[in-house]
Amino acid sequence: MEPIDAPVQAPGGTVEVHSYLGPSDERSLADDVLDGLTRPLKELPPKHFYDARGSELFDAICELPEYYQTRTERLILETHADDIVARTGAVELVELGSGSATKTRVLLDAMAAAGTLRRYIPVDVSATTVHAVAELFCDEYDGLSVYGVVGDFERHLSHLPEPVGPRLVPFLGGTIGNFPPGSRRRFLRGLGKMLGPGGHLLLGTDLVKDPHVLEAAYDDSAGVTAQFNLNVLHVVNRELGANFDVDAFEHVAFFDREREWIEMRLRATEPQQVRVEALDLDVAFTAREELRTEISAKFTPDGLGADLAAAGLELVEFYTDPDELFAVSLARVR
């Protein structure tokens, strides 16, 4: 698709946002729904959570007492940002699944302090967050050039501009854990190709820990994660003319100890017949039948090293917090 916005000169620097989402992405939701709802274990991929409301709900999750990930990853970045910038000499950040990019400021501040900061490239399927972050950071960071990409990081990374110097690619929040293990390695291998000369990946991963702590993080007492989970049904209702009775589904989250991942599901509380008009599809749910909406893998340092090695990447530094709840890995092409 053609870019939708022309560059704009803003007080702080330049900002441009390019969108690569179009009719083929409505197709992507349609294909995922058709494929996912006709499987023996019904499933929808997590990227469809993030419409404007889903992105807001995710931001609310990040503030929850039970969701230790965000504050812990921020602490790790605050502790080591200067080291990361010194080791990489990064002049630009290409952030995958940037969302509202609150932790990214820590890196941008360290780059600004080192005098290397030139460009920020947020990449996200959520158009609202890319636009908001692009405007905000362009205003806040003097002389920063922001090149926003509204797109799918699994399909649109070939549209990125050429690096302007050493590139750092933050992929934070543990989003890599939302890939199943096989595609995770394939995706990481693909990232190696977009790092450019001297480029580094900065990968945030949640670590294996007490299952009660993990399960509480995905089933908070205020019910925000339940709302986030159920939101995907609103997305399908709105985008594909479906008639899910959202109130007749309940949120389920459990840690699969064998696979070492959290699974989120939506369970039908009673039998339900769902019509998806845009697909001319009728789907039956039996009472208590579950729809899987997300896996969120938890890592061990060894497992992470094996994934990076299998993807042709080498670990440069492994940063963690004192309680070893979360990790941020700096890696480069081997």
Size of the site for ligand SAH (CB under 6 A): 20
Q: Which of residues 120, 137, 141, 153 is near ligand SAH by CB under 6 A?
A: 153
Query: Which of ligand AVI, ligand SAH, none has residue 218 at its interface (CB below 5 to 8 Å by kind)?
Result: ligand AVI
| Residue 280 to residue 304: CA distance in whole angstroms | 42
Question: Which residues inside 52-71 make contact with ligand SAH, applying CB under 6 A?
Answer: 55, 58, 62, 70
Per-residue binding string, ligand AVI, 59-88, x by CB under 6 A, is --x---------------------------
Are residues 43 and 289 in contact, defined by beta-carbon separation less than 8 angstroms?
A: no
| Residue 12 to residue 99: CA distance in whole angstroms | 21
- Which residues, 6+ apart, have CB-to-CB distance to 69 below 8 Å? 62, 173, 174, 206, 217, 325, 326
Asked if 225 is part of the footprint of ligand AVI (rule: CB under 6 A), the reply reads yes
Asked if 15 is part of the footprint of ligand SAH (rule: CB under 6 A), the reply reads no
Are residues 129 and 55 in contact, defined by beta-carbon separation less than 8 angstroms?
A: yes
Identity at 85, one-letter amino acid code: V
Which one, 147 or 299, has the nearer CB to ligand AVI?
299
Query: Which of ligand SAH, ligand AVI, none has residue 126 at its interface (CB below 5 to 8 Å by kind)?
Result: ligand SAH
Are residues 89 and 61 in contact, defined by beta-carbon separation less than 8 angstroms?
A: no
H or E element, residue 78: helix 68-88
What is Dmax (Cα atoms) for the chain?
A: 61
Question: Which residues inside 105-124 make contact with ligand SAH, applying CB under 6 A?
Answer: 124
Cβ atoms within 10 Å, residue 311: 20
Name the closest residue to ligand AVI (Cβ). 296
The tokens for 77 are 């970045």
Asked if 172 is part of the footprint of ligand SAH (rule: CB under 6 A), the reply reads yes
Q: Which residues pair with 251 in a beta bridge?
A: 266
The tokens for 173 are 């929040």
Please report how close the Cβ of residue 94 comes to ligand AVI at its closest, in angstroms: 18
Q: Which of residues 43, 152, 239, 289 is near ligand SAH by CB under 6 A?
A: 152
Binding site for ligand AVI (CB under 6 A): 61, 173-175, 177-178, 218, 225, 228, 294, 296
